[in-house]
């Protein structure tokens, strides 16, 4: 049994999408990051980093329970366990990791920071907004170039690299970004968003947000 601690966030949504795509049943446990539940002692006891998502596999390696943070690590764990959405070896597998690390160390942090400085910082700091806006546009241009040559992020097949990219592109509004200048990302986004399992994952994390 899989339990996923999550909210309707760019990093969280990847895990339900991956589980839906892999055909694995799971239980979602809401952690309302808007209310700070990720920093409460009961949650910190299972994830000292105080962030979502978090996966609990009650039947992990050796039949022992496994608790795992970091969306990228969770997706690799699930892909290796099921043999799905990650080529077993060779250049195609390396490309999946290349795209995942590009997103997790480049795109995600740039969008997270520009969103913070535009929407949540207690004062407007133009140099910070400009720095992360420029970096977001730069990494979008890089991804657009990749997707000009490939149907999916890492090649001809849908993989966990597409799921990693999808998270922040789904939440690009938070960063105040759109896809108007990036036709290849827009083409890819539309294709990924149309997948029924992606729709199911989005619907389930969206339902975690209480009505205002």
* Beta bridge pairs of residue 56: 3, 67
Rank residues 50 and 155 by Cβ distance to ligand GSH and give the closer one.
50
Rank residues 11 and 99 by Cβ distance to ligand GSH and give the closer one.
11
Residues found near ligand GSH in the complex (CB under 6 A): 9-12, 33, 38, 50-53, 70-72
Rank residues 44 and 91 by Cβ distance to ligand GSH and give the closer one.
44
The least distance separating ligand GSH from the CB of residue 97, rounded to whole angstroms, comes to 15
The least distance separating ligand GSH from the CB of residue 70, rounded to whole angstroms, comes to 5
The least distance separating ligand GSH from the CB of residue 29, rounded to whole angstroms, comes to 13
The least distance separating ligand GSH from the CB of residue 184, rounded to whole angstroms, comes to 24
Rank residues 30 and 53 by Cβ distance to ligand GSH and give the closer one.
53
């Amino acid at each position: 049994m899989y339990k996923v601690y999550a909210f309707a966030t760019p990093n969280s949504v990847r895990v339900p999408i991956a589980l839906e795509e892999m055909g694995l049943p799971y239980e979602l446990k809401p952690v309302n990051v808007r209310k700070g539940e990720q920093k409460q002692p009961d949650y910190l006891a299972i994830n000292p980093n105080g962030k979502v998502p978090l996966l609990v596999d009650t039947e992990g390696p050796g039949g022992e329970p496994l608790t795992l943070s970091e969306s990228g690590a969770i997706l690799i764990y699930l892909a290796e366990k099921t043999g799905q959405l990650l080529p077993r070896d060779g250049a195609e597998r390396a490309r999946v990791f290349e795209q995942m690390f590009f997103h997790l160390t480049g795109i995600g942090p740039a969008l997270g920071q520009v969103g913070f400085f535009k929407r949540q910082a207690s004062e407007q700091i133009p140099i910070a907004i400009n720095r992360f806006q420029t970096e977001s546009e730069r990494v979008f241009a890089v991804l657009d170039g990749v997707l000009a040559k490939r149907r999916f992020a890492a090649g001809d097949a849908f993989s966990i690299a597409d799921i990693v990219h999808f998270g922040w592109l789904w939440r690009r509004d938070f960063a105040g970004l759109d896809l108007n200048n990036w036709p290849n990302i827009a083409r890819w986004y539309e294709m990924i968003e149309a997948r029924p399992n992606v729709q199911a994952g989005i619907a389930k994390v969206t339902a975690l947000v209480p009505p205002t």
